[in-house]
A and B are shown apart, each in its own frame.
Chain A
Amino acid sequence: MFAYIIRRVAYAIPILIGVNVLTFYLFFVVNSPDDMARMHLGQKRVTPEAIEKWKASHGYDKPLLLNRDAGGAQRFTETIFFDKSVRLFAFDFGYSDDGRDIGHDIRQRMLPSLAIAVPALLLGLLVNITFALLMAFFRGTYVDVSGVILCVILMSISGMFYIIGGQYLLAKLFRLMPISGYDVGPDMVRYLVLPVVIGVVSGIGSGSRWYRTFFLEEAGKDYVRTARAKGLSESLVQFRHILRNALIPIVTGVVVVLPLLFMGSLLTESFFAIPGLGSYTIDAIRNQDFAVVRAMVFLGTVLYIIGLILVDITYTIVDPRVRLT
């Protein structure tokens, strides 16, 4: 088990290097730092001096890959690639284009992201499993059919409509809670209710339909028939046998997204003005702050890979049939 984890972590390194090279290529080769400087300084009539100054102040004035002027190891370390890409491996994110410490920002903004994402995930799981169980229990009847149709309808609505509609109805029309904002302390709940509720509702359609297929798949298996043949009550079969086994794919599906919860949700956070990592990313994209976008790409990749490793470990815990080799 331990050796397996070590090997999986080792596998992650070439992937991270690949991601790093790809982002480096996108950000520094497709467009040279000169292009970026010109973009930031405004398009027309930018003096070469101004470009040089911008590049120097943001650390883009070094050669891309190989510094021919320096000697020894500095040939490689005094380059943009080392400064901007290799340092990411030490989680040294550097400074954003407007001079803020990205690492500090990320640490500060993780908590608000989690404050939304974790309740939304747990509540969503509860609601989705309940609906899915209900539909699977009444499979083939009108409850099931209309439930599935309702799910498809809910799935066909863009997440943005849920947010805008929810904000308008609940916050603006009925004035049940503030439209947007964030606060630490006892007031936090007031601000969090709406985004969490909307997050749960917008996920019901796809979530419960997906989980329903798990339940149906389990319900068709032989051991379920055996359980029924033994004369077990239907509710016992549902909860003891089907639910427990169908939870395996559900749990692993949740575990893979757990690390990514830190990244927050782009839409929710930006619509509700929550100072999390999701809105941080959106702001960076809108302000064309390439340093932050690069850092978030790296962070997101690391978290995703951690999620994949966690899934493999979870499998061995929840499903004893799986053996890691």
Chain B
Amino acid sequence: MIKPVILWTDALLFLLTALVVIFVLYARRKPHIRRPWQRIFQGRIAAASVVILLAFILVGLLDSLHYRLPLEATSAATETHYAIEVLSVLDALTGTLRTREEKSYSAPFATHLYIKENVDLPDGGQARIYPPLEYGGRHLGDRSEGKARDIALRTGLSLLQAVLAGALLTVLLALALARKHGCSSKDMLRQIFSRRTDVPWHIILLTLTLLLAVIFLVLNLASVYHVLGTDKVGKDVLYLSLKSIRTGLLIGTLTTLVMLPFAIFMGIVAGYARGWIDDVVQYIYTTLNSIPSVLLIAAAILMLQVYIANHPELFETTLERSDIRLLFLCIILGITSWTGLCRLLRGESLKLRESEYIQAAVSFGVSHGRIMTRHILPNVMHIVLITVVLDFSGLVLAEAVLSYVGVGVDPTMNSWGNMINGARLEMAREPVVWWSLLSAFLFMFTLVLAANLFSDAVRDAFDPRTVGQRGGK
């Protein structure tokens, strides 16, 4: 039996997912909440970025289901012992990507190592050559000149698979939509292709097909090559980049989850109650805001490092240690970033408390707590949502900077920040090792770009100031 491992961040991530699912189920029944969301999904760019974001989230969630494999049972021991290494479902799904380690650097699609090594020849002498890789391109055997043909064949196959799968998806979607709207599926297909549907399904299908193409390419090529090369200790860079997705998502989402209760509670109470409560809240956030955030984070993380260094017995595995550090980093980032939202909410509830419907509620004798939760909170939720979505990409980018400064996630943890940090030395090598940097760039850029485009759409849909201003286009 495998032993499931639930890390702190896993638990919080699934809590967050559950909250989002509950919200979606709730919002489906409320037309006034549904409307702005529908407007978001009607945008072509937003729809495409949602597809990309969902793909990233899926990878992150799969990577958050952790477990430990049992060790080979020895006859003497009655209880099973578990391997020290914590794996995730993603590791299982990516198959041998994790285990196929080379000796050192190898370029993308390479069949030989990137650096020369002394190799013993069969006749007893020694030669300085690029040794062949243990796994990359092994199926080619000695025919390494057939590589280009092999890659082209596999690429063609993947594209074919992607097109077929995309076509299948289109048909399925048309059938489902036709059933929903009560028209023939042929009609539905025609509508999709002539772009007459409300939701831009043609864009969503196109994005999905592109995504599928990437997935099939990876499946067909990464099983025999190191598509993005290998790093210094021979680990597959594609695998490292995939594992880093979870870290990026966690930083972007958990930070928000941590800060939201503070920001919402303090902001609304300060704005609604005014008086000395307002003064105290303002003092707290001005003080926290005055400290340059990098320095506050650095100070807190340094102290955590001292604490961890002095209490090694608290953590069973290195993963647990780095997990606590990640969680703590999220908390610290949350502490430095809740102030902006709190200030916005305070201002908004200051304004709302003077509005007529609140005065009506007060004169009906509704209690203060109820006014704040039932009357003010729902009317500031759009600010919360916009801030959360806008903050996400900034947090993902901040992770990289913090890791560089040395106060980011644990150095043993897979993260884009750590990859970039390592790539800094690799870029100074001769010849240059560029693929770690490139893959960190590609993954991070895709995620952040999708998040930025999505947050623009969310802001346009929810911000009352921009709604209705978009006629100019």
Which A residues are within 8 Å of any B CB, using their own CB?
Answer: 14-15, 18-19, 22-23, 26-27, 30-31, 35-36, 38-39, 43, 139-140, 145, 152-153, 155-161, 164, 167-168, 172, 220, 260, 263, 266-267, 270-271, 281-282, 285-286, 288, 290, 293-294, 296-297, 300-301, 304-305
Contacts and interface: CB of A to CB of B under 8 A. Distances in A.
7 contacts: A140-B472, A156-B448, A156-B449, A157-B445, A158-B448, A281-B295, A293-B299
Given A293-B295, A304-B292, A18 B306 contact: no
A224 B256 CA distance: 40
Contacts of A156: 393, 445, 448-449, 452
B444 A158 contact: yes
7 tightest Cβ-Cβ pairs between the two chains A and B:
A18-B287, A300-B292, A156-B449, A156-B448, A301-B290, A31-B306, A285-B298
Given A158-B400, A285-B407, A288-B302, A19 B291 contact: yes
Given A156-B452, A160-B400, A301-B292, 13 more contacts: A18-B283, A18-B287, A19-B290, A23-B291, A31-B310, A140-B472, A152-B452, A156-B448, A158-B448, A161-B437, A263-B292, A282-B406, A288-B305
B116 interface: no
B283 A293 contact: no
Contacts of B393: 155-156
B315 to A, nearest CB: 15
Given A39-B306, A285-B405, A164 B427 contact: yes
Most buried by A among B302, B309, B437, B473: B302
Given A26-B299, A168-B427, A39 B441 contact: no
A284 B38 CA distance: 50
B437 to A, nearest CB: 6
Nearest to B423: A164
Given A266-B405, A282-B405, A288-B302, A304 B290 contact: yes
A15 B400 CA distance: 30
Contacts of B400: 158, 160
Interface string B286-309: 110111101110111011011101
Contact-size category for B = 35 or more
Nearest to A285: B298
Given A153-B449, A158-B401, A159-B397, A140 B473 contact: yes
Interface centre among B296, B299, B407 (most CB of A within 10 A): B299
Contacts of A15: 283, 286-287, 290
Contacts of B290: 15, 19, 301, 304-305
Nearest to B430: A172
Nearest to A30: B303
Given A140-B472, A300-B295, A35 B307 contact: yes
Given A164-B420, A288-B302, A152 B397 contact: no
A281 B291 CA distance: 14
Contacts of A26: 299-300, 303
A282 B309 CA distance: 21
Contacts of A266: 294, 401, 405
Contacts of A36: 306
Max chain B Cβ within 10 angstroms of own Cβ: one of A160, A260, A271, A300: A160
A273 B445 CA distance: 26
A305 B424 CA distance: 35
A21 B424 CA distance: 37
B472 A43 contact: no
A158 B420 contact: yes
B265 interface: no
B380 interface: no
A300 B293 CA distance: 10
B214 to A, nearest CB: 18
A39 B306 CA distance: 6
B453 interface: yes
Interface of B: 283, 286-287, 289-292, 294-296, 298-300, 302-303, 305-307, 309-310, 393, 397, 400-401, 404-407, 420, 423-424, 427, 432, 437, 441, 444-445, 448-449, 452-453, 456, 469, 472-473
Nearest to B444: A158
A160 B306 contact: no
Contacts of B296: 297
A43 B313 CA distance: 13
B310 to A, nearest CB: 5
Contacts of B303: 26-27, 30-31
Best-surrounded residue of A43, A139, A285, A294 (most CB of chain B within 10 A): A285
Contact of A23 (B299, B445, B456): B299
A108 B294 CA distance: 22
A35 to B, nearest CB: 5
Nearest to B434: A168
Contacts of B286: 15
B295 A161 contact: no
B465 to A, nearest CB: 9
A296 B295 contact: yes
Contacts of A167: 427
Contacts of B404: 160, 267, 270
A160 B456 contact: no
A160 B402 CA distance: 11
A160 B302 contact: no
Contacts of A270: 404
A297 B427 CA distance: 33
Contact of A22 (B287, B427, B456): B287
Which residue among A19, A220, A270 has the maximum number of chain B CB atoms within 10 Å of its CB? A19
B319 to A, nearest CB: 21
Nearest to A167: B427
A293 B302 contact: yes
A178 to B, nearest CB: 14
B298 A293 contact: yes
A161 to B, nearest CB: 6
Contacts of A220: 469
B306 A14 contact: no
B291 A301 contact: yes
A248 B400 CA distance: 33
Contact of B299 (A260, A263, A297): A297
A286 B306 CA distance: 13
B420 A285 contact: no
A122 B164 CA distance: 54
A14 B283 contact: yes
Given A285-B406, A300-B292, A267 B401 contact: yes
Given A19-B291, A164-B420, A39 B401 contact: no
A159 B299 contact: no
B283 A164 contact: no
A311 to B, nearest CB: 14
A43 B309 contact: yes
A297 B295 contact: yes
B294 A35 contact: no
Contacts of A297: 291-292, 295-296, 299
